[in-house]
Chains A and B, each alone.
Chain A
Amino acid sequence: MAASIVHIRNLGIQLSQDFAVVVEKLDLRRGERLVLDAPSGAGKSTALGLISAGMEDSGLPGRVHQIGGQAIERGNRARRFAKPDVLGFVLQTNTLVPYLNTLENIRLPMQIAAQKVDPQWELHLLTVLGLDPLVDRLPTALSVGQRQRVSIARALLARPLVLLLDEPVASLDPGNVARVEGLLSELAQEAQSAVLLASHQAQSGVFALAKRARHRVYEHKGVTYSLFCDTEAAA
């Protein structure tokens, strides 16, 4: 069996005195897809933040955090950011750097990591996502959907081992949801990226048949734990 690209045990954070989010167990191999399907406020974005190491975890007992075969320790997050060819992240907010144009925004993570862009893959992404006529535009001149597609291109440009998607279609109108999800799925497949999708809208569309993480809520000593586990929920 292929080694896990994402290997996590007991990665959690206490967000307040009475609420904590914990990824109990999560293993993803190349090309696998997993949906974190839970109600709004359950901590899906927090779970992705913890997995991406963009958020500091609380260091629970039995904690394991490995991305791309590399262990990520607590307390030195400055060094822990996975390189763009290991981890791509599509933010829920489509946040872009407002003073960089489309192409510069897309290339930014690879530029920071001093990684070389594959021009053919870049052209393919721009073409498939319909961004090729928009490369010189600033984010203010883009629609919400266009900005979302720029975010997707930014996350996929380095063909990451794992792609984290945080409600990637939440801000889109229903007509575009299926199209963007389809593009995401197709491009992630081409990049051979494992996909971890946080969404409460994945009951239909291309991710409807993807494996779903088990989500359960557990209360202990006045704290509500929102727990995620890659083991399928019992029927």
Chain B
Amino acid sequence: MISALAIRLGLRELRHEWQAALCFIAALVGVLAPLLILLALKNGVIGTMVDRLVEDPSNREIVAVGTASFDQAFFDQMAARSDVGFIMPNTRRINAQANALRNPVSRALERSVPLIPSAHGDPLIAGRAISPGEVWLSDGLAKKLDLAAGDQVEMLIRRTVSGNQETVRQRFTVLGVIGAANYAREALFLSLDDLLDVEQFRDDLAITPDTYAAPRTAPDRYASFRLYAADLSALGTLLGALEERGIEARARAENAALLLNFRDNLNLLYGFIAMIAVLGFWCAMAANLRGMVERQRVVFSLLRFVGLSRTSLAAIPVVQSVALVCVGVAVTLLLVLPGLFFINAVFRTRAGDAVAQLGVEDLVATLALGVITAGTAALWAMRATSQIDSVEVLRHA
């Protein structure tokens, strides 16, 4: 059993050999501080990029390519999949456009505005419900039309029949504005029913401007869909599932997979660098502790001669190793944490994200790794200490 005396002796020797201990701590700080700064930068720069990638729902969008039609069963089956975050029918792209949008108060006008169907669960509008007569505006569009939540917006839909232009004007209530981070382009998000009215007006001459808003039955099949994977990692499997059904599709943000791959590779690279550094430090520490045992061989022998047990004797280098690493980690954190604060103050990003970040889990892992390194690095010294015999102090003369 390790006695309190062994711990006291180990610490007293460190205090006595404070210069050697200081050199040792400096060596540890020299290894650990750059590693922690690298880790913080990796977390901050790459982590923020990946977080944004993950948080931006548009990166999870899968768009249909080519022509096809999809029945309700397709949508039901897809919605039941755990890797699907959101799915709803869409019209043909050619019909999904308003000829113009107008602010009825300021008369500000924007032509050729894309129309996007939306529904409860739409990740671009934070999952909020949208009913017929209600719309969401993208940030860019809202600014151009000078509209905000609660305002009215007028949509103009035109068609040409026998050389004559027919126009429908439809008013909607603006429910809200979608942030640029969620949708950077200009678009109007409206209910599927309202979008189908637009499509049917353009396709069916029997529908006149007067009967534009009359109730109609929903179609059996839809020309397209809006589909979002549950998360970025599900994009691949979801594309594969669509391909199996013979549906041609692609991920809108193909770079996402590349960035995730880059992050994984960077994690591997950092892990490799950290492993090499820790291994180097481990070797230095093991050699240092072993050297310390050799220098203090007669004293260890004396301690054995006056009755200290082999176990307690062998515990001395472990106590010293753990103490040195704990102090080294503490000094490193005292240097690194203000350093990270400084880096973040100097290199503040426009979005206010931290360039360098260290989580509590990183600090706990550092300390745990340090203690494990200290404990195992002391094994060689422990073995050497346990082999020191009391007879050595007798022969020392």
> Which residues in A have some Cβ–Cβ distance to B below 8 Å?
45-46, 48-49, 54-56, 77-78, 81, 83-84, 89, 91-93, 95-100, 108-109, 111-113, 138, 154, 166-167
Chain B contacts for A55, CB-based, 8 A = 390-391, 394
With A54-B390, A93-B397, A98-B16 already in contact, the answer to whether A112 and B307 are too (CB < 8 A) is yes
* Partner pick for A95 among B12, B302, B307, B308, CB 8 A cutoff: B302
**CA gap between A45 and B391 in the complex, in Å:** 10
Chain B contacts for A111, CB-based, 8 A = 5
Q: Is the CB of B391 within 8 A of A54?
A: yes
Candidate in A99, A100, A166 with the most chain B CB atoms within 10 angstroms: A99
In angstroms, how far is the closest chain A Cβ from the Cβ of B14? 9
**CA gap between A137 and B9 in the complex, in Å:** 17
In angstroms, how far is the closest chain B Cβ from the Cβ of A155? 10
Chain B contacts for A96, CB-based, 8 A = 302
**CA gap between A95 and B307 in the complex, in Å:** 15
Q: Is B396 an interface residue (CB 8 A)?
A: yes
In angstroms, how far is the closest chain A Cβ from the Cβ of B55? 57
Chain A contacts for B306, CB-based, 8 A = 84, 108-109, 112, 154
In angstroms, how far is the closest chain A Cβ from the Cβ of B389? 8
> Which residues in B have some Cβ–Cβ distance to A below 8 Å?
5, 9, 12-13, 15-17, 298-299, 302-303, 305-310, 390-391, 393-397
In angstroms, how far is the closest chain B Cβ from the Cβ of A148? 13
**CA gap between A166 and B305 in the complex, in Å:** 14
Q: Is the CB of B396 within 8 A of A49?
A: no
In angstroms, how far is the closest chain A Cβ from the Cβ of B325? 20
Chain A's closest residue to B17 (CB) is: A99
Q: List 28 A-B contacts (CB under 8 A).
A: A46-B394, A54-B390, A55-B390, A55-B391, A55-B394, A81-B307, A84-B306, A91-B302, A91-B393, A92-B397, A93-B393, A93-B396, A95-B298, A95-B299, A95-B393, A97-B9, A97-B299, A98-B16, A99-B9, A99-B12, A99-B16, A99-B17, A109-B306, A112-B307, A112-B308, A138-B16, A154-B306, A166-B397
Chain A contacts for B17, CB-based, 8 A = 99
With A92-B397, A99-B15 already in contact, the answer to whether A113 and B302 are too (CB < 8 A) is no
Chain B's closest residue to A89 (CB) is: B305
With A45-B394, A45-B397, A49-B394 already in contact, the answer to whether A113 and B307 are too (CB < 8 A) is yes
**CA gap between A120 and B394 in the complex, in Å:** 30
Chain A contacts for B309, CB-based, 8 A = 78
**CA gap between A56 and B392 in the complex, in Å:** 12
With A98-B16, A100-B12, A112-B5 already in contact, the answer to whether A91 and B394 are too (CB < 8 A) is yes
In angstroms, how far is the closest chain B Cβ from the Cβ of A149? 17
In angstroms, how far is the closest chain B Cβ from the Cβ of A11? 14
Chain B contacts for A83, CB-based, 8 A = 307
Chain A's closest residue to B397 (CB) is: A92
In angstroms, how far is the closest chain A Cβ from the Cβ of B205? 102
Chain A contacts for B391, CB-based, 8 A = 49, 54-56
Which 10 pairs, one residue from A and one from B, show the smallest C-beta to C-beta distance?
A99-B16, A109-B306, A92-B397, A49-B394, A112-B307, A54-B390, A55-B391, A99-B12, A99-B13, A93-B397
Known: A81-B307, A95-B396, A97-B9; 8 extra A-B contacts, CB below 8 A, are A77-B390, A84-B306, A84-B307, A93-B298, A96-B302, A108-B306, A109-B306, A167-B397
Q: Is the CB of B307 within 8 A of A54?
A: no
Chain B's closest residue to A92 (CB) is: B397
Chain A contacts for B13, CB-based, 8 A = 99
Chain B contacts for A100, CB-based, 8 A = 9, 12
**CA gap between A112 and B13 in the complex, in Å:** 17
